[in-house]
Structures are given as structure tokens and as C-alpha cells.
Amino acid sequence: MQMVEGLAINFATTRTHWQTLAQFVDGCLRAGIRTVGPWREQVQAIGIAAAGRLIRDSGARVTGLCRSGLFPAATAEARRAAIDDNRRAIEEAAGIGADHLVLIGGGLPPGSRDISGARQMVADGIAAVLPDARSAGVLLAIEPLHPMTTADRGCVNTLAEALDLCDRLGEGVGVAVDVYHVWWDPDLSHQIARAGRRILAHHINDWLVPTRDLLLDRGMMGDGVIDLAGIRRMVEAAGFFGPQEVEIFSAENWWKRKPDEVVATTIARYNACCRASA
Amino acid sequence: MQMVEGLAINFATTRTHWQTLAQFVDGCLRAGIRTVGPWREQVQAIGIAAAGRLIRDSGARVTGLCRSGLFPAATAEARRAAIDDNRRAIEEAAGIGADHLVLIGGGLPPGSRDISGARQMVADGIAAVLPDARSAGVLLAIEPLHPMTTADRGCVNTLAEALDLCDRLGEGVGVAVDVYHVWWDPDLSHQIARAGRRILAHHINDWLVPTRDLLLDRGMMGDGVIDLAGIRRMVEAAGFFGPQEVEIFSAENWWKRKPDEVVATTIARYNACCRASA
């Protein structure tokens, strides 16, 4: 069969059906998609060694392993536990030959209103695990999350903020650009250009009008208002020509459909509205 | 009775009960709150002259009239209609002696994915009505809205963007700082300092965890994660000592309660957690 170049599927998109790593990789390959973005739970379910063999034997390529980060916590003990967990994520990413490890900030610790403090915990956490990542040859991709997730999920909220972190941390850290999180940013074209070769991932989906849930109502490309081809042009102008990775959290729509239909739709929409030439 | 200084109530907070301008102003004054933020529909329901008399006779003070803006539209005719409507809003604000007119960007025109184009329509729209506002002595307060509202409500999304607009437009334009829309911004303290005397309004409420609706699930001060006293200190350091105005859209909670209870709660929470000294 003909393989689709330039398109990757993230596990989140078909998670309700293709739950194991084997199901997920098989399903993508059957649909002609060779590049996949697994989540840690899939690797942990069978162990790093088995997951690495499965990936190598399948011929699939891994973009980023999702996901790590989530450093802010109320106690020093909990912050150390988060750092330990990130070290395990780095081992997992190395073990399956992932291109990078996707990292999100995490929200405010319970009861906290100290957003600057939470952001400092993110910076400190990444700094603590960066030597491990460098030793393992795993790039860390900081993914800024939409400001509606600041409180409970991701307190790194703009590309500017993520790149400021990269500037402070040095080699081995870049960014994941998910259109859902950054499309609204008036400074977007400037920050994508600034990112340059530090762009490690480009995630796609769409912003629906109306949006009925802050987390689980993402749209399929073409069903919303994001200028996907326009953002792709910015990303390629910055020097990133890696795959566009479909990541759709959609509890009431796409997660209820058959995964083969979902993946077939992503391919059609990718060709129709996501390429830089679209 | 003792009046509460430094606190204003916006019509939106009690809109399900105090619907007319008279009900709203009376209710606030009975609770000891002299400073009010009405909406245009209240003025239009009785006419500018009657609304102006009602305000003057009551002894109430008006912060901003809410709300105008909403310039982006798909056709030149619709854009002209939006500009005409903003001119009427300026007359209304002048007629009731409002301190300023609150202006939001508006979303993308139906079917559009051109966010830069929408933002340009906002800039053009404000430029078109600014001479009218200056003649009428009405200050325009651009209110950046949370990025989760970009598509359908407000495409001016950060204080930086609003202040860049102010820089381009010149005298007579400032910003309304609503904590709900800006609390997440990593550049917040810097942009509030940059705003300085261009801060025309300071709106308060809180960000709930979880937030169940993108528009109508705002929290009462103290029930969420926003550092209200901290933001007030930034605002005062920038030179704004005007009232903190409570604006809570809460379909499932505060809008269902008796307005006297809502206002009494705002006063208690204002005293407990919103003052710069809190």
C-alpha cells in the first residue's frame, strides 16, 4: 500500500479503540501511516524492552513520547517524585527510539495561587532532568498549552514563554507547536520564526465554534477556524519539515467513531487543508 | 448606611434579577455600593435621556458602559453597521456620564480563518470612532479577552496586544484589566506596569478549577486560583486606584441566587481577598 508521508497519528486521537501499543501501531500502518506518537501508558503496559522491540519490528517511526513534565507540586517530596518520574520517561523515550519526549508544565499545586512559583518549579524540574536527557540522547520538547489549561494542566502557555525557558536551559530542549494551543497568539509568526530549529514537533487538530469543553472538544482539521496551512508555512519557514501529528481529544465525537474511519478522515483532511501548499 | 469604597458592581453579576437600570442601581445603593457598571441594553430600554437622569438623581457613579467593539464582519456593510453601533454606544456612554466605554474585539467573521484580518478590522474600527469618542469626552477601554474567546467573542487577547493598539491609536484609548482574562499571562506584571495610567478599569472575579463552561462559569473572588490581591498591587503600582468592579458570568451558581446575597458576598470577599493589603 502507499504510505502517507508527512502525517503522524498521536495515540490520543484513537485512544478509545487502539489502546495497546500493538493495536495502535498496527492500525496506523494498515492505514498507510508509518509515523506514530505513543503515550507512556502504552509503553509501561508492556515494558520498555518489549515496546522497543515492537516498534523496531514494526518498521514504525516514533515522533514524541507523550508525555512528561507536570513538575509543580505542594511538597518537596512530591516535586522529587515528579523529577524521578520524568527520569523514567526519558528512559522510556530512549528505549523506544523516540525522536523526543513531550513535556507539559503542569498546573498550580492544590490550594496554590502562586503561578510564578509554579512556573519556577517547571524551570527547576527541567533543569534537574536535562543532564539525564542529554546522556540518553533524548530531546525534550516543551509544549506550551492553551491559557485555559493554566490552572490545572499546563502553566507554560505561550511559545514565547517556552522559548525563554529554552534560552535559559541550553542544548537539548526545544518546543512542540500544537496549533490548538497557540493559534490565537498575536505574536505567533514572530515566535515560530524565533523558535527556528528548536521546533521538534508540529501537532494539528482544529478549534471548534462553539467549543463545549475545555479539554475534550477538539475538532478535526478543517472543521474549525485555525488557518492550518498558514501555520504550516510559518513552521516550514522556520526550518521544520517533520511530520504533522494529529492529536484530537474528542470525547463526544471522534472518540466514539471507529478508528479506521477516524484515521481515514485525518488523511483526507491533511491532504485538503494542512499542507503548506494548501 | 455605610458605603463600601473601592468596589463596583457590574450589571452582568446580577443580571438575572436586577434587569432594569433602576432595579440595578437601587439594588447596589441599598447594599452600600455607589459605583456601578451598567450594560447598553439597560440604557437602550429607557433611552439615553431617562437613563442619564436616573443615574444623576440616584447619586450613583458609573464606571464603564458595557460594551461595544465587535468590529470584525464579513462584509463592508456589516463593518459599517458595527462602526455606527459603536458611535451610538459613545453617545450612550456620554449621556449617562460614564467614566469610559468598554470595548471588546469581537470574534472571527463567520467562515473566516483570518485572525490577522479580524484584528486589523478591530484596529480600523476603533480608529474610525475615536474622533467621535474624543469629541464626546468618552474614553475607550479596550478589554483583552481570554484566548479561549478568540474565535467567537474577542480577538484582542493580551494586554500587550491591547497596549500596542493604544500606542497606534493615541490619546483617548486605554485598557480594561479583567483578571479573568489576563491572570494566566506570563508577561502580566510587565504589561500592567507598561499600561500605567492607561488602565481605565479593573474587573474582578475568579478562575474556578474545574471550569465547566468557556463563558458562563466564572467564580466569586476567593473561590478560584487567581491571586487577586497580587494583581491589585500591580494595578495600583501602575497608578490606577479606581474601583475594582465585580463581573461574574455564572449561569449555574451566582445567577441562580438572590441578588442581595450575591452582592453581600462580593462585599465580604472584596474585603477578604481583593484589596492590595490583603
Is there a contact between A158 and B186 if contact means CB atoms under 8 Å apart?
yes
| pLDDT over 70 percentage in chain B | 100
Q: Does B244 have pLDDT greater than 80? A: yes
Closest-approach residue (CA) in chain B for A150: B184
The model's confidence at residue B2, banded by pLDDT at 50, 70 and 90, is: confident
- Residue A113's pLDDT is 98
- Chain centroid offset of residue A162 CA: 14
CA distances to A26, A41, A42, A101, A211 from A20, rounded to whole Å, are: 10, 9, 6, 19, 29
The pLDDT value recorded for residue A90 is: 98
* B224/A contact by beta carbon, under 8 A: yes
| Residue numbers in A near B269 (CB within 8 A) | none
Q: Which ipTM was obtained for this model?
A: 0.96
Q: How many angstroms separate the Cα of B17 from the Cα of each of A27, B27, B35, B44, B250?
A: 55, 10, 18, 18, 13
Gap from A19 CA to chain B (nearest CA, Å): 27
CATH topology of domain B7-273: TIM Barrel (3.20.20)
What is the predicted pLDDT for the residue at A278? 87
Average pLDDT by consecutive 10-residue portion of chain A (278 residues)? Answer: 92 96 97 97 98 98 98 98 98 98 97 98 98 98 98 98 98 98 98 98 98 97 98 98 98 96 97 95
Across the interface, do A119 and B186 touch by the CB < 8 Å criterion? Answer: yes
- The pLDDT assigned to B73 comes to 98
Rounded alpha-carbon distances, angstroms, from residue A263 to A4, A14, A15: 11, 8, 12
Give chain A positions within 8 Å (CB) of B107. Answer: 209
Q: Per residue, what are the HEC states of chain B?
A: CCCCCCEEEEHHHHCCCCCCHHHHHHHHHHCCCCEEECEHHHHHHHCHHHHHHHHHHHCCEECEEEEEECCCCCCHHHHHHHHHHHHHHHHHHHHCCCCEEEEECECCCCCCCCHHHHHHHHHHHHHHHHHHHHHHCCEEEECCCCHHHCCCCECCCCHHHHHHHHHHHCCCEEEEEEHHHHCCCCCHHHHHHHHHHHEEEEEECECCCCCCCCCCECECCCCCCCCHHHHHHHHHHCCCCCCEEECCCECCCHHHCCHHHHHHHHHHHHHHHCCCCC
Closest by Cβ to B113, choosing from A107, A185, A225: A225
| B115 reaches A (C-beta below 8 A) | yes
Domain regions of chain B by residue span: 7-273
In CATH, the number for domain A63-246+257-273 is: 3.20.20.150
Q: Is B229 on the interface with A (CB under 8 A)?
A: no
Where does chain A show beta strands of DSSP type E? 7-10, 35-37, 61-62, 64-69, 100-104, 139-142, 173-178, 199-204, 244-246
Q: Is the pLDDT of residue B270 over 90?
A: yes
pLDDT of amino acid A2: 80
Kind of pairing between the strands at A244-246 and B35-37:
unpaired
Say if residues B67 and B32 touch (Cβ distance below 8 Å): no
Q: Is the pLDDT of residue B1 over 90?
A: no
Taking only residues 131 to 190 of chain B, the set having a beta carbon closer than 8 angstroms to any beta carbon of chain A reads 146-148, 150-152, 155, 157-158, 160-161, 183-187
What is the pLDDT at residue A92? Answer: 98
Each residue of B65-82: pLDDT tens digit? 999 999 999 999 999 999
Q: Do B207 and A113 touch (CB under 8 A)?
A: no
Grid coordinates representing A101? 519526549
